[in-house]
Structure 1
Amino acid sequence: MPADLAVIGLGHLGLPLAQAAVAAGIHTVGYDTDPRPFAELSAGRTPVEGSLTAPEIRRMLSRGFRPTTDPAELGRVRTAVICAPTPLGADRTIDLTAVGDATRALAAGLRPHTTVLLESAVPPGTTESFVRPLLEEGSRLRAGRDFHLACSPSRLDPGNRTHVYANTPKVIGGLTPACTESAAAFYSRLTDKVVRARGPREAEMAKVLETNFRHVNIALVNEMAVLCHDLGVDLWDVIRCAETKPFGFEPFRPGPGVGGHCAPVDPGYLPYNSRTPGHPLRMVSLAQEINDRMPSYVIQRCATLLNEHGKSVRGARVLLLGVTYKPDLADQEASPAQEIATRLMDMGAQIGYHDPHVLDWRVRERPVPRADSLYEAAASADLTLLLQHHRTYDLQGLAVKAQLLLDTRGATPAGAAHRL
């Protein structure tokens, strides 16, 4: 039986979309240009850490979700959504390779009247100047005339139990008004509200603005953390006071670095299309520089604390708590824990870790010892470093047991530990 929807890219974007579609009663197939997700999903396992759980995958399969390795199935659907990853390349520009592969796979069997949607995080202009030509060349069809094309950037927040797919508004920008309405008709089956942008570029740029809004404000509060520590001011109390202002302020909190899958445009140039030069985003570039410095600042604070207690980093036993990029998830994408652990090891420290969601952790391809008994490990470590606050951590108890506790998340009670 032909499916109504094809989700192309079975990772952090595609799987939650497929889950929402299946829950809405939409007959869905999932395809990935990488064959590994198919094998994992077919066995009822999640192919990516930090996305859906194995029970959720099995529930989707029982409701009719069908992973496939046959690209021909992409030509039998009414709607196809490209959810390919867009990581930063070695030059820190967005790599569109996976988006291109997914688009070509879809184009080969694209039929008239299909609605094609792009959810991947991409630079403005990508839908029109990159995806559209690949679809038209591969299918011999015309976007906006023979098939609908629109961009609707993902707004997923993994682990957020308040803002889920159904109650998070979906921004849609179509190549033509008819494309926008076709996309809106599809997303209206999954979410309570759709927001129509003027076109694909406006929808793509909305994602850039949302991501960099967070990035710049995290950089601001990270700078404030360093300043407040130098001045002997309790930043966490400053934030508590400031967030009582009912207008003109939104609270952000510092940390040991910024992780996750949605990278800001960096190193400060926003590509628009192949005919115009990059546009400098100086504030974003500076924010990147500030946030990139935070792991080094954490190392500096570690060294200072150990020194104040008559110890050197060399030979010190350091326990890292929480090595994921987000609390209560197993996802380690771009977590600052890797860089912090690497730097400490280079300085001669003996590293151990604990994370309830990560049973095996490696730094430079070498396994890091995992603490079996958290309290015993904290008591024997010269320094315990909280990098991620998972809800299972009893920080009051840890503060009592640990010889030294540096809290980079401001999660411990005031006075119970040293805080960033």
Structure 2
Amino acid sequence: MHTSISKLFVKAGDTLQTVMDRMNNVRKEDASLPRGIALVVDTGKRLLGIVTDGDVRREFSKGTPAGTPVSKIMTKKPGTITVDRWPSNILPVLSDKIKAGSWPKERLEKIIIVDKKNHVLDVVSFYDLIHTSDVRYKHIGIVGLGYVGLTLALTLADLGFRVKGHDNNKKVMEALGKGRAHFFEEGLDELLTEHIGKNFVLVDDFKGGNNADIYIVAVGTPLTSKNQPDLTALKGSLTTIGKVLKPGDAVVLRSTVPIGTTRNFVIPLLEKLSRLKGGEDFLVSFAPERTVAGKALEELKTLPQIIGGVNHAASELIANMFSFLTRSIIHVDSLEAAEMVKLINNSYRDVTFAFANEVSLVAQEWNVHTKKLIEAANYGYTRSTIPLPSPGVGGYCLEKDPFLFMASAKEKINKPKLPEHARSVTNAMRKKILTDIISFLNTHKKGKNAKILVLGLAFKGRPETSDLRGSTSLAYITDLQSKGYKNIWGCDPSVFAHELEGRGITLTNPKEGFKNADVVLLMTNNPAFDDLPLKRLLETTKKPVLFFDAWNIASPADMQKLPGVLYKHL
């Protein structure tokens, strides 16, 4: 609210020159007041009309005398919004006028507020209103209801926001409509049951009454067969939004993208579809998703949210929204900086995990126990936080984000060497383990029908998740199947059975899986495997049996005492 609004007032009899001088001086007197406008009022401060510096300049160019009264050229019936009290929330009123086409988009910068007797109360911009309004009045539209979009949608709904969700996958929409989440996440089903059809509604599109004020894009950005970014799903989502985008709306990207995508791809496409101007008519921000599958609901409320906007108004609006989730908001300088945060987070992690695997590859050649080695190196030495090795660095993000980072870097410099080498180390670890498995099978003449049990099918075991994207276990299974080994059994208590249909895997429980198994691969550290009676289960296998313990869950000393059991670990 501007307390010095009277500095914009002029009289009907004031000359054009006087009014122009007034407009030029007012900004110097109060920088918070809008520029280039004068309010023509009567002695009771009731609005008679308005005039802009552009109006006066046009009159001067036509030769109109500088002494002409401003009443001769003023706009006598300017658009106003009438309120009972001020300040108050006028966004719903203004939004209705914009939707109805009765408020031109070029007048969003100077909105005149009057009372019922036409007394001038204030002049504000649309973005002033956005910044000062309670963001919870806004309708949130989320495109993409997967691991990222659904968890955010239900968290916002739980905080009181009105959220509309859309996904192109009809099976996902059908399951959610029945109150069933299509993936496992601690506490997700309870939130869905509580909010579906209330604060969280499913929509086929965002037309008409389904329109939103803030659109959040949370679709996947996978890689092509040549490890290049595939923005097909992103383009489809933006097309859905761009066709209904209206002045004052905001678009937020949560999808991980190459650096520069928001500015050079997203904004131009939205501008083309909506015929609006990004940063002026609509706002755009990037707020990277950085939660871990299995703990997303928790981390949405604890992790710092990174915000980068096309301008300050965009950053502030989205920061306002996320401030209801977490107290920690980190503003970065640009859209590009926000895009880069997620890429360097995951590229760094990928390099770190690859280092652990490279240590393991070397240690094995020197007959050194890798886990004990790393624990000794880390113990009491705070400058060392080497992670434990793994049978492969998987997961949807870690498999692709280093490639997105490399693709972005190649546009400016030569391809970065560390992320590329990290990926090659990951492949080397997978190749070595696969070679060991096949060597065992060949050495002991197990044949192509050998029973192979894989414990842990999701891409990780802790925290528990049903996410199969980037699963190392599935990669090994595919490799084994390609070499003719078809008798693959699998067990993972966190994974939905229907998601494994058609993969040639016999789903089982540990007891049935171990029985007559020729190879047992313990691939994840799912808590369900912590207390398995391994000794008793291994006794039921077909000897000799290869037991590969990727996470060092078993005791090497105990395993080596078991007859007919070849125990391997990282």
Query: TM-score normalised to the size of structure 2?
Result: 0.67
Report the equivalent of 1:220: 355
| Paired residues of 2:354 and 2:393 also in contact (CA < 8 A) | no
Report the equivalent of 1:318: 452
**Alignment partners' CA distance in 2, 1:368 and 1:361:** 11
CA change 1:419–1:354 in 2 (3 A) is same
Report the equivalent of 1:418: 568
Report the equivalent of 1:330: 466
What's the offset of the Cα at 1:395?
5.1
What's the offset of the Cα at 1:66?
0.2
Report the equivalent of 2:181: 46
**Alignment partners' CA distance in 1, 2:200 and 2:500:** 36
**Alignment partners' CA distance in 2, 1:187 and 1:73:** 26
When structure 1 is superposed on structure 2, of 206-215 and 406-415 the one drifting more is 406-415
CA change 1:131–1:245 in 2 (3 A) is farther
Q: State the secondary structure of the residue aligned to 1:340.
A: helix
Q: State the secondary structure of the residue aligned to 2:264.
A: helix
CA change 1:41–1:75 in 2 (3 A) is closer
Task: Name the amino acid aligned to 1:61.
Answer: I
Correspondences of 1:342-381 after superposition (within 5 Å): 342-349=478-485, 350-358=487-495, 360=497, 365-372=502-509, 374-381=510-517
Q: What does the per-residue CA deviation read over 1:133-186, in whole Å, with 9 as the maximum and x for residues that have no partner?
A: 011111122122122211011011011389521011000111112211111111
Q: State the secondary structure of the residue aligned to 2:533.
A: helix
Identity %: 25
Asked if residue 204 in structure 1 is aligned to residue 354 in structure 2, the reply is no
Report the equivalent of 2:272: 137
CA change 1:55–1:82 in 2 (3 A) is same
Q: Looking at CA atoms only, which structure, 1 or 2, has the larger radius of gyration?
A: 2
Q: What does the per-residue CA deviation read over 1:250-308, in whole Å, with 9 as the maximum and x for residues that have no partner?
A: 232222222222122328732369xx566411111111122123332221222455567
| Paired residues of 2:160 and 2:199 also in contact (CA < 8 A) | no
- Count of residues in Structure 1 that have an aligned counterpart in Structure 2: 416
When structure 1 is superposed on structure 2, of 225-234 and 361-370 the one drifting more is 361-370
Q: State the secondary structure of the residue aligned to 1:316.
A: coil
Q: What does the per-residue CA deviation read over 1:88-137, in whole Å, with 9 as the maximum and x for residues that have no partner?
A: 11221121111111112111111222221111000110110011101111
Asked if residue 407 in structure 1 is aligned to residue 549 in structure 2, the reply is yes
Aligned residue among 241, 244, 247 for 1:109: 244
Structure 2 unaligned spans of 5+: 1-91, 93-136, 539-544, 560-566
CA change 1:320–1:22 in 2 (3 A) is same
**Alignment partners' CA distance in 2, 1:39 and 1:95:** 26
CA change 1:33–1:345 in 2 (3 A) is closer
Correspondences of 1:164-175 after superposition (within 5 Å): 164-175=299-310
CA change 1:153–1:385 in 2 (3 A) is same
CA change 1:34–1:330 in 2 (3 A) is closer
CA change 1:53–1:294 in 2 (3 A) is farther
Report the equivalent of 1:193: 328
| Paired residues of 2:217 and 2:237 also in contact (CA < 8 A) | yes
Structure 1 unaligned spans of 5+: none
Q: State the secondary structure of the residue aligned to 2:222.
A: coil
**Alignment partners' CA distance in 1, 2:188 and 2:296:** 14
Aligned residue among 151, 156, 170 for 1:16: 151
**Alignment partners' CA distance in 1, 2:236 and 2:296:** 33
When structure 1 is superposed on structure 2, of 293-302 and 166-175 the one drifting more is 293-302
Query: TM-score normalised to the size of structure 1?
Result: 0.90
| Paired residues of 1:267 and 1:288 also in contact (CA < 8 A) | no
When structure 1 is superposed on structure 2, of 27-36 and 355-364 the one drifting more is 355-364
**Alignment partners' CA distance in 2, 1:404 and 1:361:** 29
Asked if residue 250 in structure 1 is aligned to residue 385 in structure 2, the reply is yes
Task: Name the amino acid aligned to 1:333.
Answer: R
Q: State the secondary structure of the residue aligned to 1:265.
A: helix
Aligned residue among 396, 421, 430 for 1:286: 421
Aligned residue among 223, 231, 235 for 1:96: 231
**Alignment partners' CA distance in 1, 2:280 and 2:499:** 51
| Paired residues of 2:394 and 2:471 also in contact (CA < 8 A) | yes
When structure 1 is superposed on structure 2, of 396-405 and 144-153 the one drifting more is 396-405
Task: Name the amino acid aligned to 2:394.
Answer: G
Q: What does the per-residue CA deviation read over 1:66-94, in whole Å, with 9 as the maximum and x for residues that have no partner?
A: 01002215973231111111011122112
| Paired residues of 1:360 and 1:367 also in contact (CA < 8 A) | no
**Alignment partners' CA distance in 2, 1:291 and 1:29:** 40
**Alignment partners' CA distance in 2, 1:377 and 1:330:** 20
**Alignment partners' CA distance in 2, 1:74 and 1:171:** 31
Q: State the secondary structure of the residue aligned to 2:341.
A: helix
Asked if residue 383 in structure 1 is aligned to residue 519 in structure 2, the reply is yes
CA change 1:351–1:47 in 2 (3 A) is closer
When structure 1 is superposed on structure 2, of 54-63 and 162-171 the one drifting more is 54-63
CA change 1:191–1:80 in 2 (3 A) is same
What's the offset of the Cα at 1:45?
2.0
CA change 1:83–1:161 in 2 (3 A) is closer
When structure 1 is superposed on structure 2, of 332-341 and 394-403 the one drifting more is 394-403
Task: Name the amino acid aligned to 1:385.
Answer: L
What's the offset of the Cα at 1:56?
3.6
| Paired residues of 1:12 and 1:51 also in contact (CA < 8 A) | no
**Alignment partners' CA distance in 2, 1:105 and 1:265:** 29
Task: Name the amino acid aligned to 2:312.
Answer: P
Asked if residue 147 in structure 1 is aligned to residue 282 in structure 2, the reply is yes
**Alignment partners' CA distance in 2, 1:72 and 1:409:** 50
CA change 1:34–1:385 in 2 (3 A) is closer
Q: State the secondary structure of the residue aligned to 1:182.
A: helix
**Alignment partners' CA distance in 1, 2:297 and 2:371:** 24
Q: State the secondary structure of the residue aligned to 2:460.
A: coil
